[in-house]
């Protein structure tokens, strides 16, 4: 039986905890076939992002075309883009696809490093407009104008609550024309949170590629992320990676 084909358009994390590497692990463990279009190289570990090298936009486009034209795509996850030019190229390509698209508007790494400048964030508008779902965390939602601005854009989004304070994590799903949904769970107190956003967005994309509804995909992705956090292997001196391989 053919697995769901999921294309991750994102940056590479040399430490393996986030970005393309986290996406490949997530998609594979959940039964999908992972493909990639790498937008940036990072020298990164659990303590932070030490260097970033954006890829030429034409090369990003070539990677997307190669995957779409030969293997085919059932869903797309978008993560770190690296430059406004890359964001525009990605939007150009994805506007032609009729598949679920999950946009994780990566701006700041878990360690606090900036991964998108003002011009890149401005280019996010087209991607939010074509995405099936956008998945901002607390600081990203603030940078995008908060709930008021997101609702005005008339787009579906998950407001992730992992970066908020308090003993419970509240994730909210807002879909235009539908009642808001909310999930609450006890906070997992751990330093091993590197790649949680990448993992959640690629899990949602994989579930959507498998035929799940948006609500089902978000619900199942949340449970997968929590299980992977609890299975963290304890690597690194900083914000350690999740234990994707241990979740079955």
Q: What residues act catalytically? A: 160, 193, 195-198
Distance CA 248, CA 245 (A): 8
Residue in this structure with the two tokens 């590479």, named with its chain if needed: 12
CA distances from residue 126 to 67, 87, 93, 106, 118 in whole angstroms, order as listed: 22, 9, 12, 15, 15
193 three-class SS: coil
Task: Report how far residue 178's alpha carbon sits from residue 89's, in angstroms, rounded to the nearest whole number.
Answer: 31
Q: For residue 223, with 0-12 CB atoms within 10 Å meaning exposed, 13-18 middle and 19 or more buried, which class applies?
A: middle
Nearest to 184 by CA among 164, 168, 173: 168
- Tokens matching residue 102: 């999950």
């Amino acid at each position: 039986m053919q697995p769901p084909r999921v294309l991750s358009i994102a940056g590479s994390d040399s430490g393996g905890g986030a970005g393309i590497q986290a996406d490949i692990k997530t998609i594979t463990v959940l039964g999908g076939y992972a493909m990639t279009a790498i937008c940036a190289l990072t020298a990164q570990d659990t303590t932070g992002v030490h260097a970033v090298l954006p890829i030429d936009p034409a090369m990003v486009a070539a990677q997307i075309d190669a995957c779409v034209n030969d293997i085919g795509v059932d869903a797309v996850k978008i993560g770190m883009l690296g430059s406004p030019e890359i964001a525009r190229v990605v939007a150009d390509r994805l506007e032609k696809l009729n598949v679920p698209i999950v946009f994780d508007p990566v701006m700041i790494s878990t360690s606090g490093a900036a991964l998108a400048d003002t011009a890149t964030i401005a280019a996010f508008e087209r991607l939010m407009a074509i995405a099936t779902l956008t998945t901002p965390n607390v600081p990203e939602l603030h940078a995008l104008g908060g709930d008021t601005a997101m609702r005005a854009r008339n787009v579906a989004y998950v407001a992730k609550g992992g970066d908020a304070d308090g003993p419970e994590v509240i994730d909210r799903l807002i879909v235009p024309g539908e009642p808001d949904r909310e999930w609450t769970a006890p906070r997992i107190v751990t330093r091993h949170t590197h790649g949680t956003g990448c993992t959640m967005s690629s899990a949602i994309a994989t579930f959507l590629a498998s035929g799940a509804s948006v609500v089902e995909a978000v619900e199942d992705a949340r449970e997968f992320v929590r299980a992977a956090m609890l299975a963290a292997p304890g690597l690194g001196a900083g914000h350690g990676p999740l234990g994707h391989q241990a979740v079955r």
